[in-house]
Amino acid sequence: MPEFVRQIPQGDNRERLVCTTCGHIDYENPKIVVGSVVSDGARVLMCRRAIGPRLGYWTLPAGFLEMGETAEQGASREAWEEAGALIVLEGLLGVFSIPRIGQVQLIFRAGFAGPPAFAAGPESAEVRLFGWHDIPWQAIAFHSVHWSLRAWKQAAGRPLGAPAGNPGLDADLADTMEATL
């Protein structure tokens, strides 16, 4: 098994993992998370997490993008896996960067592909539709879920424009809080 050490490769400006045998550089890059705010009129689909991190807290159907799939395919797959929901994507709602944990999150706005139908998947303990005032705000799993829901509310009933990004006041907080949640 090759041994890797952290060093700054020639011509680079940051530490990387470099193989001591052959010099191969193992670039560590952020992970891409894809998900969606799935709505039925004024209600949004949320999943209570059955896994860590943040077991028992509420989130949107979202997860890591897999090799060989587009962001759109990944968001649709996650809605099916976590909430048993067949969805239709309407467009990109937000792009959120959380550098502390090496994630870039692509969140889409979506609706159901027919009458609302959903069921908890293996990573969800419960799946429900919530009206805006019924969302369990104190039991939301991640700051990016708050950001996504706010972006959805602000864009409600309107064509999507440029995607939302990290809110200025929350950006630094997210960098530290996401890692501890």
Residue 157 has pLDDT above 90, yes or no: no
> For 78-83, what is the mean pLDDT?
98
Q: What is the pLDDT of residue 169?
A: 57
Closest CA to 92 of 39, 36, 32: 36
**pLDDT digit string, tens, across residues 91-126:** 999 999 999 999 999 999 999 999 999 999 999 999
How crowded is the C-beta side of 92, counted as CA atoms within 13 Å?
A: 16
How crowded is the C-beta side of 10, counted as CA atoms within 13 Å?
A: 2
The residue ranking higher by pLDDT, 180 or 139, is 139
Q: How far apart are CA 114 and CA 107, in angstroms?
A: 21
Segments making up each domain of the chain, as ranges: 31-180
Which phi and psi angles does 141 have, rounded to 5°? Answer: -70, -40
Q: Please say whether the beta carbons of 127 and 46 come within 8 A.
A: yes
CATH of 31-180, one of 2.40.50.140, 3.90.79.10, 3.30.1490.480, 3.20.20.210: 3.90.79.10
DSSP state of 64: E
Q: Please say whether the beta carbons of 25 and 9 come within 8 A.
A: yes
Q: Please say whether the beta carbons of 69 and 141 come within 8 A.
A: no
Reported residue count of the chain is: 181
For 133, the token pair is 């005032």
Instruction: Specify burial of residue 118 (Cβ count, 10 A radius: 0-12, 13-18, 19+).
Output: buried
Q: How far apart are CA 120 and CA 16, in angstroms?
A: 40
**pLDDT digit string, tens, across residues 121-150:** 999 999 999 999 999 999 999 999 999 999
